[in-house]
Amino acid sequence: MSNTSASPSYDAVVVGAGFAGLYMLHKLRQLGLRARLYEAGDGVGGTWFWNRYPGARCDVESMQYSYSFDEALQQEWQWSERYPAQREILSYINHVADRFALRPDIQLETRVLSADFEEAHARWRVRTDQGDEVTAQFFISAAGCLSAARTPDMAGLDDFAGLRLHTSAWPQEGVDLRGKRVGVIGTGSSGIQTIPQLAQQAGQLVVFQRTPNFSIPAWNRPLPEQEQQAWKQNYQAHRERARNSRSGILYDYAQRATFEVDEAERQAEYERRWRKGGANFNHCFNDIFVNAKSNELAAEFVREKIRAIVTDPEAAERLSPKGYALGTKRLCVDTDYYATFNLPHVQLHDLQAAPIERFTATGLQTASGDYALDAVVFATGFDAVTGAIERMEIRGRQQRLLKDKWAAGPRAYLGLMVADYPNFFMVTGPGSPSILTNVIVSIEQHVEWIAELLAHMRAQQQQLVEAQTEPEDRWVRHVAQVAEGTLFTTTNSWYMGANVPGKPRVFLPYGGGFHIYAALCREEVAAGYPHFTFSPGTPA
């Protein structure tokens, strides 16, 4: 075992300079801890640094998609639109990095390769792709839920001589696709946002769709100063109400079930939600995620909208999702998505009818014909939630690789800590509400919970903390049981790990609601952390 004294040492190493990592760093510094944050990109921003594809925009409204921890910050920042564009969010997060003077502790263009818990010293040894080797008491992953991008294995891909792009690794300098023949593979949130924008540039656009998705219009618009000011006057109260909700977002959560109202009232409610726009549609009735019949009515309403928008009935049918419940693949929010298929230079190719056979130097071949393409855009998603954590070689007690411990699915207590991985924390880890919520609300709750635990350890003169195995097992079972009571488990989605070949089919987030989860975390603290083991020094 190597000698710890030879390596630079920190109190904490944090991975990732997105919303989670930056706030974690800020809190660590407030505790007086020496921290090093490693970030693979050459700038801060995480998701919003990488996903620069045309049309990238958040589907949580601007006034809610921001930090709440600093009153002056939330009062001073001005948003320009109802839903923030990628560029504006990236400016905001850069502003935060400067405002709280975080940059000196951030090392960019550095990817963490491994972290080993060395039992003899009770410290983590962290190695990076830039040759750094440091030790730290605490190792904290803020690597993101949707940061390990996926490009599917496709025959002949390396033969393709045209431009190959991924929505989550869009070139910073932009790409000129004017007049080009462009193919897009994938119709999830990223594809649905970028397709209308690419259609404005491309000479010809072919959309390769495997599974159609449900999408609700954003009705994005400028955000008037007056509206912002009105919101800001009650900012803390709005934030508090959001934290007391299931998604951490101020949606209009229905109190009624679908069949408690008659057909006319139901349709009126769907229509009202459609006109309001956004993912609020998911909450039109309170049984939509648990009752297949209720869900089907809402789904059929959206299909009717698609049929009304798309003028070619055959294309409308192919764009209409069937065979899975609305919202069980993440509901998309768009600007002009379905209408884009009315444009004469936009073509929809149904991969279920004719799969891609192979790429060639000049395009790709499908079972029903060939396409000549100058550029291909992969909007094919991520190895979600666990991907970025598992891509690091994290070894806990007995040098056990976390990926091996998670071979049958991730295991973590409250999604925060893993038994046998002392002093290792995850922000928005598997088994926490994370991706089912306004992720910034979840991030703040996790970071504050971790910081409180570290302060507790200091007060109690404890050096090590780890989750116990039995509570972890119980939590993993509970997360699965909550999911089993919903329609989510009936669909092949990235929530279920189903988009990555060989990934265990496990519902990754905790679906019981942010408010309930946060209360459980508070109970753990109030009871004196009964499901964790503390130790004052290095183990024998």
- Residue 157 is a binding residue for ligand N01 (CB under 6 A): no
- Residue 328 is a binding residue for ligand N01 (CB under 6 A): no
Q: Residues 286 to 325: which contact ligand N01 by CB under 6 A? A: none
Residue placing its CB nearer to ligand N01 in the complex, 102 or 149: 149
Return d(Cα 219, Cα 333) in angstroms, integer. Answer: 9
Residue placing its CB nearer to ligand N01 in the complex, 213 or 462: 213
Residue placing its CB nearer to ligand N01 in the complex, 288 or 467: 288
- Taken as a whole, the chain contains a residue count of 540
Residue placing its CB nearer to ligand N01 in the complex, 316 or 402: 316
- Residue 190 is a binding residue for ligand N01 (CB under 6 A): yes
- Residue 330 is a binding residue for ligand N01 (CB under 6 A): yes
Residue placing its CB nearer to ligand N01 in the complex, 26 or 150: 150
Residue placing its CB nearer to ligand N01 in the complex, 125 or 330: 330
Query: Which residue in the set 64, 147, 189, 442 belongs to the binding site for ligand N01 (CB under 6 A)?
Result: 189
- Residue 61 is a binding residue for ligand N01 (CB under 6 A): no
- Residue 152 is a binding residue for ligand N01 (CB under 6 A): yes
In the complex, what is the shortest distance from the CB of residue 146 to ligand N01, in angstroms, rounded to a whole number? 5
Query: Which residue in the set 103, 127, 210, 232 belongs to the binding site for ligand N01 (CB under 6 A)?
Result: 210
- Residue 205 is a binding residue for ligand N01 (CB under 6 A): no
Spell out the long-range contacts of 173-176 with Cβ–Cβ below 8 A and sequence spacing 24 or more. 174/52, 175/375, 176/201
- Residue 462 is a binding residue for ligand N01 (CB under 6 A): no
With left for phi above 0 and alpha for psi between -120 and 50, is residue 428 left, alpha or beta? left
Query: Which residue in the set 74, 128, 187, 445 belongs to the binding site for ligand N01 (CB under 6 A)?
Result: 187
Burial of 523 (0-12, 13-18, 19+ CB in 10 A): exposed
Determine the interface stretch with ligand N01 among 56-64, 73-81, 174-182, 286-294 (rule: CB under 6 A): 56-64
Residue placing its CB nearer to ligand N01 in the complex, 211 or 347: 211
Residues that bind ligand N01 (rule: CB under 6 A) add up to a total of 26
Kindly state the tokens that stand for 175: 């790409």
Kindly state the tokens that stand for 85: 């564009």
Determine the interface stretch with ligand N01 among 35-43, 53-61, 73-81, 230-238 (rule: CB under 6 A): 53-61
- Residue 373 is a binding residue for ligand N01 (CB under 6 A): no
Print burial letters for 303-321: b (CB count within 10 Å at least 16), e (below 16): bebbeebbeeeebbebbbb
Kindly state the tokens that stand for 244: 């007391």
Residue placing its CB nearer to ligand N01 in the complex, 186 or 430: 186
Gyration radius of the chain's alpha carbons: 24
Q: Residue with CB nearest ligand N01?
A: 188
Q: Residues 117 to 146: which contact ligand N01 by CB under 6 A? A: 146
**H-helix segments, 100-256:** 189-201, 225-233, 235-243
Determine the interface stretch with ligand N01 among 99-107, 373-381, 418-426, 469-477 (rule: CB under 6 A): 373-381
Determine the interface stretch with ligand N01 among 132-140, 190-198, 265-273, 395-403 (rule: CB under 6 A): 190-198
- Residue 196 is a binding residue for ligand N01 (CB under 6 A): no
Phi, psi of 124 (to 5 degrees): -95, 135
Return d(Cα 372, Cα 362) in angstroms, integer. Answer: 6
Helix, strand, coil percentages, rounded to 5, for the chain: 35, 20, 45
> What are the DSSP calls for 219-282, one per residue?
---B--HHHHHHHHHTHHHHHHHHHTSSSSS------S-GGGS-HHHHHHHHHHHHHH-SGGGG
Helix (H) and strand (E) counts in the chain:
16, 20
DSSP label at residue 114? E
Burial of 127 (0-12, 13-18, 19+ CB in 10 A): middle
In the complex, what is the shortest distance from the CB of residue 75 to ligand N01, in angstroms, rounded to a whole number? 25
Helix (H, G, I), strand (E, B) or coil at 216: strand
Query: Which residue in the set 54, 84, 186, 387 belongs to the binding site for ligand N01 (CB under 6 A)?
Result: 186
| Site track for ligand N01 across 479-518, x = CB under 6 A | ---------------x----x-------------------
Kindly state the tokens that stand for 391: 């891509």
Residue placing its CB nearer to ligand N01 in the complex, 217 or 396: 217
Query: Which residue in the set 380, 423, 434, 445 belongs to the binding site for ligand N01 (CB under 6 A)?
Result: 380
Distances (CA, A) of 491 to 80, 322, 367, 468: 36, 11, 26, 32
- Residue 58 is a binding residue for ligand N01 (CB under 6 A): yes
Determine the interface stretch with ligand N01 among 179-187, 230-238, 264-272, 302-310 (rule: CB under 6 A): 179-187
- Residue 379 is a binding residue for ligand N01 (CB under 6 A): yes
Return d(Cα 214, Cα 233) in angstroms, integer. Answer: 35
Return d(Cα 99, Cα 78) in angstroms, integer. Answer: 15
What is the identity of the amino acid at 520?
A: L
Residue placing its CB nearer to ligand N01 in the complex, 28 or 348: 348
Helix (H, G, I), strand (E, B) or coil at 445: helix
Residues at the interface with ligand N01 (CB under 6 A)? 57-59, 146, 152, 167, 185-191, 193, 210-211, 330, 333, 351, 379-382, 435, 494, 499
